[in-house]
Amino acid sequence: MEKQLKRQVYLSMKGLDEARELFLTRIGTDRRTAPEALFVRDALGRVTSEPVFARRSSPSYHAAAMDGIAVRAEETYGVTERRPKNLRLETDAVWVNTGQVLPEGFDAVIMVEKLHQPDDRHLEIRAPAFPWQHVRKVGEDIVATEMLLPQNHRVRPYDMGAMISAGVFSLNVWRRPRVAIIPTGSELVRHDDVKDAEPIEDGRIIEYNSIVLAALVRTCDAVPDVYDIVPDKEPDIRGALERAVSSDADVIIVNAGSSAGSRDYTVHMIGEMGEILVHGVAMMPGKPTILGLVRGKPVVGNPGYTVSSTLSFEQFVQPLLYRLQGMQSPVRPSVRVHPTRDIPSKLGIEEFLRVNIGKVGDNYVATPLPRAAGSVTTLTRAEGIVRIPALSEGIVRGEQVEAALLVPEKDLLNTVVIIGSHDITLDILANEIRAHGAIRVSSGNVGSLGGLLALRKGTCHMAGSHLLDTATGEYNLSYIGKYLKGLPVSVFHLVLRDQGLIVGKGNPKGIRGIGDLARKDVTFVNRQAGSGTRVLLDYHLETAGIRREDVAGYDHDEYTHMAVAVDVLSGAADCGMGIFAAAKALNLDFVSVAQEQYDLIVPTELVGRDKVAAALETVRSERFRSRVLSLGGYDPAKSGQLWTEIEG
């Protein structure tokens, strides 16, 4: 019978810096893997475990450094343009080529360009030579016994050449650390066991954290050993941990099972078999991290959510793996950024916020991505990470903060920043624009009104908007006049799109239109305040005579159409306001309400700029229009066309 374990709580949660210092100090600041011998040809990127000394001099003989003649320098003294001297070949001078051994008895070389040859047996010189002129002397580059490389030096390509030149053909380096990775969870399925067309049973998850962790281990020049999935059973986890501790692994990572839940066995096993140093770190994501030692080996209880898992690895495992090889953990380059909106944060927890970054005018601007710890796409889409200190309650718009870069800084210069309403076609734009080379699209979903305000503050290149003026039936123009006074802008069509109610497959509640939102048996999910979709909904609610408070779920809002569709798919709501393409993408049904106009609004002075022009050209392309049409619910006939220019 399985033992019932008490639920653990984070009674002694430590700050990030304190936890890392405690962990690394207890392991030992001078701890290294064992040395191993390698041939120089195989040593690229490896770290020397002891200094490397030259065994030969280079060059090992006096060598000509130029094409010309070898001479005895003293026999050329006094020669001038007015008093030239003839030298006899093979007696006073000998022809030599670059790199050739300097003939015995000669100590200088005169370049061929300085010679005059009156006949086949003589050469005329018009300037003297000095001893060792144009000669590479023995040991000029390397002297036998001198130190070529110090201890803890990472071998580079030219270091390899120097060693071979100095007669060193093998050397001792620190062995690459070995990392045992133990994925745990009874709900996990190996990706190798999943067939493309087969659905996965509800409650089961394809395990991929071990793939990410193994790749991260390799980036640290270490060697991963990924174990089979271990179910959430005490004997199984104990057995896997015992096997790892008894192996040649230098570090052990137990993925998942590290939180405070009553069935999270990792902390109990580490505590029984060794010592818990830290359980819970004041960082987000990554709070459930466990740091311990079992029989002298570092064991990390790594959180199960992917972003938490990755950030925990980077803060604790990465510096350890570099230290075991005698290296400092690399520091990411960073830039100063201005957030595009206020970003509140929880006091007492250091937060790692994933952001999109682009350069607008003279400033780098950062748009926060969703904070979900399980959202791996926030890492694939991010250009940087902003750390919000534990003693801060967040960052206000306009404040300048540091962002560690996940991409080269030059990529940021080619990023088109689009802020505003969410639309699936912006993802197609982001993909299609790569045909123009290194240009990227960074989009932030803050609603149509938020996009206009971002334009006003100069924190984006263009805004996506579909704001309906209910008095005129016209889109965007009245809002531009109100919020962008004094800013000349050009308005380009992106798409016409079908907006309506996203409902479950088969429309189980029989929802036929806006009027059904007042029904007691219908729950709704809304878009956020300031979004064009919310404005459209409010207009139709007013037209139908329905009060907002009579709509169950009116205050439950999401920031994207796909998030609304997911809420309906999951059963969190019976319906939600969104676009047809989002319903189609998740195989849901759709009740049409209106066709609306979605535009891109661009400051006129930016229209001709290379990256903005490339974005507009992409929107006008037949390939873009074709892909948008295939989504369903879109009319891209006017995509990229200039609708109007507003002088502000």
Instruction: Examine the domain organization and report whether 116 and 191 are in the same domain.
Output: no
Structural domain includes residue 3: no
- Count Cα atoms within 13 angstroms, Cβ side, for 116: 9
CA distance 391 to 387: 12
Instruction: Examine the domain organization and report whether 169 and 189 are in the same domain.
Output: no
Structural domain includes residue 418: no
Quick one: CA dihedral 403, 254, 347, 453, positive or negative? positive
285 preceded by a cis bond (ω within 30 of 0): yes
Structural domain includes residue 4: no
Structural domain includes residue 494: yes
Q: Which of 150, 174, 198 is the last residue of a domain?
A: 174
Which DSSP category does 484 fall into? -
How many domains in the chain?
Answer: 5
Q: What is the pLDDT of residue 377?
A: 82
Instruction: Check: CB of residue 39 under 8 Å from CB of residue 168.
Output: no
The label of the residue with tokens 């087969």 reads 198
Structural domain includes residue 10: no
Q: Which residues pair with 343 in a beta bridge?
A: 395
* pLDDT, tens digit, 9 for 90 and up, residues 62-115: 999 999 999 999 999 999 999 999 999 999 999 999 999 999 999 999 999 999
CA distance 603 to 488: 6
Structural domain includes residue 440: no
Provide the strand spans (E) within 50-106: 52-53, 63-64, 68-71, 85-88, 94-96
Structure tokens at 14: 């430590």
Instruction: Examine the domain organization and report whether 51 and 164 are in the same domain.
Output: yes
Q: What is the pLDDT of residue 266?
A: 86
State how far Cα 153 lies from the chain centre. 27
Q: What is the pLDDT of residue 197?
A: 67
Instruction: Examine the domain organization and report whether 547 and 597 are in the same domain.
Output: yes
Instruction: Examine the domain organization and report whether 192 and 313 are in the same domain.
Output: yes
Q: Are strands 188-190 and 415-420 parallel, antiparallel or unpaired?
A: unpaired
Alpha helices in 222-365 (DSSP H): 234-246, 266-273, 306-312, 318-324
Instruction: Examine the domain organization and report whether 545 and 558 are in the same domain.
Output: yes
* pLDDT, tens digit, 9 for 90 and up, residues 19-53: 999 999 999 989 999 999 999 999 999 999 999 99
Instruction: Examine the domain organization and report whether 556 and 614 are in the same domain.
Output: yes
Residue 107 has a CB neighbour count (10 Å cut-off) of: 18
With helix as H, strand as E and coil as C, how does 138-179 read?
CCCCECCCCEEECCCCECCHHHHHHHHHCCCCEEEEECCCEE
Q: Which of 174, 189, 223 is the last residue of a domain?
A: 174
Q: What is the pLDDT of residue 5?
A: 46
Question: Domain with 344 in it: what CATH number?
Answer: 2.40.340.10
Instruction: Examine the domain organization and report whether 69 and 54 are in the same domain.
Output: no
**pTM for the structure as a whole:** 0.82
Q: What is the pLDDT of residue 470?
A: 86
Assign residue 152 a region: left if phi > 0, alpha if psi is -120 to 50, beta otherwise? left
Structural domain includes residue 423: no
Instruction: Examine the domain organization and report whether 541 and 566 are in the same domain.
Output: yes
In 164-196, which positions are buried (b, 16+ CB within 10 angstroms) versus exposed (e)? Answer: ebbebeebbbbbbbbbbbbbbbeebeeeeeeee
What are phi and psi for residue 592, nearest 5 degrees?
-70, 140
Instruction: Examine the domain organization and report whether 639 and 510 are in the same domain.
Output: yes
Q: Which of 174, 199, 226 is the last residue of a domain?
A: 174
Q: What is the pLDDT of residue 184?
A: 93
Quick one: CA dihedral 435, 438, 439, 445, positive or negative? positive
Provide the strand spans (E) within 191-327: 205-207, 223-226, 251-255, 275-279, 283-284, 290-294, 297-302
Structural domain includes residue 452: no
Instruction: Examine the domain organization and report whether 168 and 82 are in the same domain.
Output: no
Q: What is the pLDDT of residue 40?
A: 98
The helix (run of H) or strand (run of E) holding residue 622 is: helix 622-631
* Average pLDDT by stretches of 10, the chain with 648 residues: 47 85 93 97 96 94 95 95 94 95 95 91 94 93 94 96 96 98 91 80 88 96 96 92 97 80 74 94 94 96 93 97 94 92 88 92 88 82 92 87 93 91 91 83 87 91 93 92 94 95 96 95 93 92 95 93 94 95 94 95 93 94 95 94 91
Q: What is the pLDDT of residue 262?
A: 44
With helix as H, strand as E and coil as C, how does 552-564 read?
CCCCCEECCHHHH
In 291-327, which positions are buried (b, 16+ CB within 10 angstroms) versus exposed (e)? Answer: bbbbeebbbbbbbbbbbbbbbbbbbbbbbbbbbbbbb
Q: Which domain does 379 fall in, by range? A: 336-407
Instruction: Examine the domain organization and report whether 74 and 217 are in the same domain.
Output: no
